Amino acid sequence: MVWKPSTSQDVSEAVYVFRASKTVNAMNAIHIPLRISPGLPKDYTNAPEQPPLCTNLFGTSYLESLRDHATEYCTPDSPASLTCFHTQTKPGDRIDTFCLARGAVFDPSQAKYILPCTLRDLPRTNGMPSLREFHFYWYGTGAGIVIHNGIRIVPPHKNTLNINTTIPPDKQNYTILTKREGGQNFWHSLMEIFSMTLSLDVLQMTPIPDINTSTPLFAPSSIPNTDVTLVDTADAGPFIDLWSLFAHKPVRRLPQPSTTTTTTTDETTPLTPTNLIIPLPGASNPLWHGDWSILPCTSSPLLRTFITRILSFYDLSPVPEADPNTLTITFINRTSTRRLVDAESLLSSLSTSLHTDPKIKIHIQSIDFASLSLLEQLRVISCGGGSSRGAGT
């Protein structure tokens, strides 16, 4: 399988999506020009120019690559659709994927979403992975796992559920269906939530393919109609609230199969479908690239936007410019793992070993972040954090 990068360079250009042709070669993936892209979400701002490596990993080019490599997995005559977005951050590396399944309904008897869809046979020459080739990430995460565990794709003629197909786009419900790596590790949780927001950004940049407007696949107006459903069984964890950045409905879990008789098989009762968003997993987040090796990147519109959203979510003001006459050093005191040996004596000697201008006021503080809520941690960082480093990180 050879990855073929998109040739689109500008978000103002027509978006190209791999879709099935209705000609004799009905299973061949071809580029079909769609409407003009809705563009970047409004909370993105301009950033200083960076090397191509940095732009592709940490800039809006990362979002554009995903948008420009959308692939439809259902045939055009299917009542539902499964559109997956792909990107490859390094030549020869894995292909990262997230998906949008439109027109799914939940069947309690199976504890799965039913997606009436005839799967296409993707040509091997277009470089797009089949469903079975979706990458499996650590902790059993990724779109392939979520689809396998939470969605049952059935041929339309075998679907026995009566699905309401008349709901207009602006009234449709959305479910962010995801499997987390767990709920306790701060870094891993942030990477997952960050990747979720990037997935939603791409959907906001991609027009609905079957209507003659630039209406995006997901819009901010849909946030009140969106929930997060967890496929995993891990504890909620202290960072669960941040999953609500793009979903105002309560976070819930995928129910267990119901043994009671329900109306889901009643052919006379139209069922309300939902659009399933299976986001990028945390392990695919491009920020991991800067964790393994030092990169020549100094600015990231993706990261800056994510930080702004978190601060806004907690009603915190943006971090002000540091006072050049005050140096605040916050030592994140880890008390269980990765502890710094002789931390107290080292911190005590630090204040006397710093040779700075006498006009500069130095404030050193040691704080056990594990004893604080996420909101309290953010307040420390944004109001008096200065230079923050954790032992062993």
Q: Does 104 lie in the same domain as 65? A: yes
Kindly state whether residues 346 and 226 are assigned to the same domain.
no
Number of domains in the chain: 2
Asked whether residue 205 is assigned to any structural domain, the reply reads yes
Q: What percent of the chain has pLDDT over 90?
A: 48
How many helices, marked H, and strands, marked E, lie in the chain?
A: 8, 14
Asked whether residue 309 falls in the same domain as residue 330, the answer is no
User: Strand pairing of 14-20 and 29-36?
Assistant: antiparallel
Of 231, 104, 241, the C-alpha closest to 178 is: 231
Q: Is residue 161 very low, low, confident or very high in pLDDT (cuts 50, 70, 90)?
A: confident
Using alpha carbons, select from 114, 173, 180, 124 the residue that is nearest to residue 147. 114
For residue 283, pLDDT beyond 70:
yes
Question: In terms of residue numbers, what domain contains 331?
Answer: 326-383
Q: Indicate the burial class of 321 (C-beta count within 10 angstroms; 0-12, 13-18, 19 or more).
A: exposed
Estimate to the nearest angstrom the gap between the alpha carbon of 8 and the chain centroid.
22
State yes or no: pLDDT of 15 exceeds 50.
no
pLDDT exceeds 80 at position 4: no
Tell me, yes or no, whether 179 and 202 share the same domain. Answer: yes
**Residue 326 scores a pLDDT above 50:** yes
Instruction: Report the C-alpha gap between 104 and 175 in whole angstroms.
Output: 10
- pTM equals 0.83
Q: Which of 286, 314, 342 is the last residue of a domain?
A: 314
Q: Same structural domain for residues 116 and 217? A: yes
| Domain contains 15 | no
| Last residue in a domain, options 260, 281, 314 | 314
Indicate the pLDDT class of residue 267, thresholds 50, 70 and 90.
Answer: low
Residues 331, 235 share a domain: no
Per-residue model confidence as pLDDT tens digits over 104-130: 999 988 899 999 999 998 887 778 999
In a domain, 393, yes or no: no
Whether residue 252 sits in one domain with residue 188: yes
Residue 314 pLDDT > 80, yes or no?
A: yes
Write down the pLDDT at residue 308. 93
Residue 172 makes CB contacts below 8 A (sequence gap 6+) with 222, 225, 273, 274, 275
Identify the CA nearest to 83 among candidates 8, 20, 7, 161: 20
Tell which wins on pLDDT, 108 or 212: 108
The per-residue pLDDT of the chain, averaged, comes to: 83
Please give the average per-residue pLDDT across 21-40, as a whole number. Answer: 48
Determine what percent of the chain is predicted with pLDDT higher than 70.
84
| Last-in-domain residue among 269, 284, 314 | 314
pLDDT tens digits, residue range 42-87?
888 777 778 888 999 999 999 999 999 999 999 999 999 999 999 9
The mean per-residue pLDDT over the stretch 263-268 comes to 52
Claim to verify: residue 352 and residue 303 sit in the same structural domain: no
Kindly state whether residues 63 and 151 are assigned to the same domain. yes
Tell me, yes or no, whether 373 and 267 share the same domain: no
Do 112 and 168 lie in a common domain? yes
pLDDT interval class at 2 (50, 70, 90): low
